[in-house]
Amino acid sequence: MALPRASASPSGVPPASLERFVLANTTAGVVPFVPEVRLYLGDDAIAIWERTEAAAGDKDRQPPFWAFPWAGGQALARYVLDHREIVAGRAVLDLGSGSGLTAVAAAVAGASRVLASEVDEFAIAAIGLNAALNGVGAETTGDVLDGEAAGFDVVLAADIWYQRDLAARALGLLRRVAVRGGTVLAGDLGRAFLPREELRELAAYEVPVAADLESAPTRRAAVLTLR
């Protein structure tokens, strides 16, 4: 069964205004570790975060994960593009998609369908813009973590292991997909709630990152799957 496409904005900001906001606060550029992909990228996380809160009228918003290529996403996108047979001709679900980097990489690699799951309406706008920037298609939907991801052959999960409840729900979905024979891939630099005991490493990379976000010019990020 198809998952629903996200259309409404929880904050009430019209989709066109969300797109204008993304374009006004980012610049199109190449992803450092994944030069096959271009994204609308920010250059000051705190400034964009403050502007997002003001635009949405919400001072408790999550950071603008959609405006930067995070380490786990870059590693997973690199892996997908280097192993295109994993997604080529298959339906792919990308969890916590953020900018849509891994979703776009899957589409570039030949996925038959790509669905990006996000709860941030600014991220949903960014995903659409980034897909268009790369000349590929990517649908969007909201929170799917308590479902079965029915109809999807591959599930990607990059940089979502930073909060206990979120990580537990994501792991539950990955387990359910793996049990029915689907492919699951995670990308992360080793955050606190990464379920290391349930995962095995497939590849690791030294990924260039924004120093003001990660306190270092590069970080080791791994691509993993369930044992």
Q: What is the pLDDT of residues 103-130, one digit of tens each?
A: 999 999 999 999 999 999 999 999 999 9
Distance, CA of 210 to chain centre: 17
Beta-carbon-side half-sphere exposure of residue 100 (alpha carbons within 13 Å): 32
Tell me which DSSP letter residue 41 carries: E
Beta-carbon-side half-sphere exposure of residue 69 (alpha carbons within 13 Å): 31
Q: Looking at the domain that runs over 15-226, which CATH code has it been given?
A: 3.40.50.150
Contact at 8 Å (CB) between 63 and 120? no
Q: Residue 180's CB: how many other CB atoms inside 10 A? A: 9
Is residue 59 scored above 60 in pLDDT? Answer: yes
Q: Output the pLDDT for position 10.
A: 53
Q: Output the pLDDT for position 91.
A: 98
Q: What is the residue extent of each domain of the chain? A: 15-226
Whole-model pTM: value is 0.93
Q: What is the pLDDT of residues 138-197, one digit of tens each?
A: 999 999 999 999 999 999 999 999 999 999 999 999 999 999 999 999 999 999 999 999
Model confidence band, residue 12 (pLDDT cutoffs 50, 70, 90): low
Average pLDDT over residues 199-224: 91
